[in-house]
Amino acid sequence: MDTKNYRVTIQGEPIKEDEKFLKVKDVVEFCCISRPMIYKLMEANKFPPCHRISGRVFWLATDINIWRSMTPEHFHNQFGKKLKAQAEGAAA
């Protein structure tokens, strides 16, 4: 399946219909880190990217659960290059 036109999880899988979307306050609570720290880690490619729909920001529960299962450094080692390439592609 070509996923270019679909939103995907951090692992590159298309988002499923039953995927849970988390608001920033939920992510802060689940991850036990502050909102500014979330954005700081995202900038360093050590946290899953947020998605925007109609001006609202949310994270995929699947991505957050993956992040919670590893350290930020391990997350960066596994997904950092991919996230950086996605960010550069979106900026171009």
For 64, the token pair is 């957050």
pTM, two decimal places: 0.85
pLDDT digits (tens, 9 = 90+) for 75-87: 999 999 988 888 7
Contacts of 87 (CB under 8 A, 6+ apart): 45, 49
* Domain architecture of the chain: domains with CATH: 16-72 (1.10.1660)
pLDDT digits (tens, 9 = 90+) for 49-70: 999 989 999 999 999 999 999 9
